Amino acid sequence: MPDPSNSKKKAVVVGAGLVGALWTVFLARRGYQVDLYERRSDMRAAGYVGGRSINLAMSVRGWAAIDKAGIREKIEKVAIAMPGRMMHSETGELSYQPYGKADEAIYSVSRGGLNLELLHIAGTFPDVNFYFDHRCVDLDLQNPTITFEDTTTGLLKTVEAPLIFGADGAFSAVRYALQRTDRFNYTQQYIEHGYKELTIPPAPGGKHRIDPNALHIWPRGNFMLIALPNADGSFTCTLFLPFEGAVSFEKLTTDVAVRDFFDRYFSDAVPHMPTLIDDFWGNPTASLVTTKCDPWHWQNRILLIGDAAHAIVPFYGQGMNAGFEDCTILDTMYDEYNGDWSGIIPDFSRQRKPDGDAILELALRNFIEMRDLVGDPMFLLRKKIAAWLHEEYPDFIPVYSMVSFTNIPYHVALHEHDRQNELFREILALPDIEANWNGPAVRECFERWMAESAGL
């Protein structure tokens, strides 16, 4: 039996970021009247403010949602394919590693550009109402209302909201309201590293200064610099570095210290960064948080999605992809439940939660891979063997490919990560593995492992 709130076909979405804007499009396509509230000003008028964005890497889960929303064409034009990683050693040597098979890539997109596009698309639906400069200040859990402060006037506004989607990010006000309810589990955990956005501007003439069809990484053990291409010929760079310690943000207090640090560790990047010092002081040093909560919903009428439910570190490039996949799954469940939110909301919350936990863990693990392991010859050998096995045995999917190039649930990928780690511990211990990396001993080891897992 459909929920009463459903017959009205009205929904409130809190947060007009990537997930909130995309989910609004999904709801509008289903015939919903959507009231979309956002704390910030309308970026369509104000222009996007960068400075702490981290570029996004759209992969298959993101595209699946974009496809399902019927808006691929509009998004595709701002995306740049990155079929592999380009590693920069301390002495400036380059080594390239494909992410997957020949036709597979992740796609660099600008957070601001994508968000703007999604808002424009949402705005084409007459039943979508935008309320920018509206900060969520209270949820009434007994009555179906929600209260916003209009930050331009300071006035409070309480509205009926029988159906609320909290897509308001890692510091979700909707989630803070749920946090005070009995038996609501919640964790916010910051990592030891902060990040700072920097830039490689276009070369004179507008071309990219370094290869645009790669995600560039300067892996340095406990820290790293990355660069993702933009359509305008620039790169958005991000430095990830501990806040405290021997090599850390707290040590970089003068122009000289910053210059010395970059000259020492990122010497081949420095010539491409003419605005380095200005960017370094002009952009904030931001922190990186993961959040977990349980449940993701309140009764049958409030649901957290995207970062509000599962904020993760950016190292797998899956934050936006995971949030977009929330939309895909919800939209599929909408059909399965014939639009009955009283079924969809608790079921989504229960089913999807293990995937949120899994991608949180995978993203933390991938930080170690990116900043440290990608510089390790044994790790590169593992990647080479994995790619070869992936070609030879179609049933074998390396974990990175599973996460980035399939829609297999994240919790399966996390389990597979543990299993593949066992496999490669064995394979890399084989005698003379460097020379015999695709020899019969590797096949034998692999086939035994596959047979074991078939028996599981």
Q: Give residues in contact with its own copies (CB under 8 A).
A: 171, 179-180, 182-190, 243, 287
What are the E-state strand segments in 28-154? Answer: 33-37, 56-58, 80-82, 84-88, 94-98, 106-109, 128-131, 134-140, 145-150
Tokens 């109402």 appear where? 129
CA atoms lying within 13 Å on the CB side of residue 368? 5
Rounded to whole angstroms, how far apart are CA atoms 158 and 173? 15
User: In the bound complex, what is the minimum distance in angstroms from residue 79's beta carbon to its own copies?
Assistant: 32
**Helix or strand run (H / E) with residue 159:** strand 155-160
DSSP state of 99: S
Closest C-alpha among 24, 19, 18 to residue 122: 24
Rounded to whole angstroms, how far apart are CA atoms 20 and 79? 20
User: In the bound complex, what is the minimum distance in angstroms from residue 391's beta carbon to its own copies?
Assistant: 43
Rounded to whole angstroms, how far apart are CA atoms 309 and 312? 10
User: In the bound complex, what is the minimum distance in angstroms from residue 246's beta carbon to its own copies?
Assistant: 19
User: In the bound complex, what is the minimum distance in angstroms from residue 286's beta carbon to its own copies?
Assistant: 9
User: In the bound complex, what is the minimum distance in angstroms from residue 193's beta carbon to its own copies?
Assistant: 11
Nearer to its own copies, 93 or 182 (CB): 182
User: In the bound complex, what is the minimum distance in angstroms from residue 293's beta carbon to its own copies?
Assistant: 10
Nearer to its own copies, 340 or 357 (CB): 357
Nearer to its own copies, 91 or 185 (CB): 185
Nearer to its own copies, 245 or 439 (CB): 245
- Alpha carbon 191 to its chain centroid, in Å, reads 16
User: In the bound complex, what is the minimum distance in angstroms from residue 340's beta carbon to its own copies?
Assistant: 23
Rounded to whole angstroms, how far apart are CA atoms 79 and 89? 27
Nearer to its own copies, 289 or 380 (CB): 289
User: In the bound complex, what is the minimum distance in angstroms from residue 277's beta carbon to its own copies?
Assistant: 24
Give the DSSP letter string of 367-434. HHHHHTGGG-HHHHHHHHHHHHHHHH-TT---HHHHHHH----HHHHHHHHHHHHHHHHHHHTSTTTT
Nearer to its own copies, 182 or 418 (CB): 182
Rounded to whole angstroms, how far apart are CA atoms 348 and 221? 39
User: In the bound complex, what is the minimum distance in angstroms from residue 363's beta carbon to its own copies?
Assistant: 17
Closest C-alpha among 108, 274, 279, 277 to residue 204: 274
Q: Is the dihedral of CA 352, 358, 364, 368 positive or negative?
A: negative
Nearer to its own copies, 25 or 252 (CB): 252
Nearer to its own copies, 173 or 363 (CB): 173
**∠ CA(140), CA(145), CA(150), 5° rounding?**
100
DSSP state of 129: E
Nearer to its own copies, 287 or 299 (CB): 287
